[in-house]
Amino acid sequence: MTVLDWLLDSDPAIRWQVLRDFAGAPADVVAAERARVATEGWGARLLALRGADGQWAGGAYFPAHGGDAPDDGSQPWTATTYSLLQLRDFGVDPDDDQMRRSVALVRDNCRWEEGGQPYFTGEVEPCINGMAVGLGAYFGQNVDGVVTRLVSEQLDDGGWNCWAAHGAVVSSAATTINVLEGLLAHERATVGSADSRKARRRGEEYLLERRLFRRKSTGEVIDPAWLEFTFPTRWYYDVLRALEYFRSAGDPPDPRMAEAIELLRSKRQPDGTWLLENTHPGQVHFGLEDGDGQPSRWNTLRALRVLQWSENGTRP
């Protein structure tokens, strides 16, 4: 079985993306396969877990009865935000009737734990607001006010940090990648503003100046965990996630990404796949793959897209 065959022998959430990006399938075939995400496999299973009020696990960021993150460092991933992020990663059609009803219910009923604000008006942490912007843009909701807030919260070094309100003056890669993904999605959906586009470019420079994983001051690896590739990424940062963002942005690869791209190539297994690594612990609705150290369809799909972009200079 070739890697392409192995990827196609999967859930509709993966299969439609492989058909679009690598198999050269006609647009109608891709659209038909994408439509299955909401009615079969992982997408249908996740949608079936939605409550009558449109929320998952009864909460915006945490399950209603799950409290905050446990002391062991894990976090439950079953509430509305991470469920919607999962559906977006699956590529569910935002115009699907069931999906449109679900998002309308989230808009009308879901409130942030932090202050009780309506979901698509955002909350206080830039990391979470980046997610909210990305989801709002994908699912056709107005998140302009959250974008304005994020632009105003950009730090002097070009990135963002969820702890800025508590005195942090240097940025966090994890917060920054979540904000960048949100701003890019908003820009794609609405064109954005001159200020938001400028902020996004400054944020990109924050990561590029560090070659995506090295300290600007010493060149040392900032965090060895960033060199391990996981899926779903949750709120965490890693090199593959950063490369996926830059691929999605559509510009030719910057020379400062070269080492990160070589790291990605080096992790390719003899059979042409990439492994799942560093899964972030916490309660999930259901598993998508066989666990760390095993071949990962999601990481393989994402890695192949990045390599295609790095070689061709264009987004597939």
Model confidence pLDDT, tens digit, residues 249-300: 999 999 999 999 999 999 999 999 999 999 999 999 999 999 999 999 999 9
Please name the residues in contact with 221: beta carbons below 8 A apart, sequence gap of 6 or more.
Answer: 213, 214, 215, 227
pLDDT-derived band of residue 312, with 50, 70 and 90 as boundaries?
confident
Predicted confidence (pLDDT) at residue 17 exceeds the cutoff of 60: yes
| Mean pLDDT of all residues in 290-314 | 94
pLDDT at position 236 over 90: yes
CA angle 204, 207, 212 (to 5 degrees): 130
Question: Of 236, 234, 230, which Cα lies nearest the Cα of 302?
Answer: 230
Q: Which candidate, 66, 44, 46, 125, places its Cα nearest to that of 282?
A: 66
- Give the per-residue pLDDT at 65: 78
Span 192-210, average pLDDT:
98
160 and 224 in contact (C-beta within 8 Å)? no
Q: How long is the chain?
A: 316
CA 132 to mean position of chain CA atoms: 11
pLDDT of residue 74: 81
pLDDT confidence of residue 68: 60
pLDDT at 316: 43
With a pLDDT cut of 70, the percent of the chain lying above it is 97
278, two tokens: 């560093």
pLDDT for res 314: 55
Which residue is it, tokens 């959906």? 189
Q: What confidence score (pLDDT) does residue 36 get? A: 98
Q: Report, as an integer, the average pLDDT of 154-176.
A: 96
Q: What average pLDDT does the chain have?
A: 96
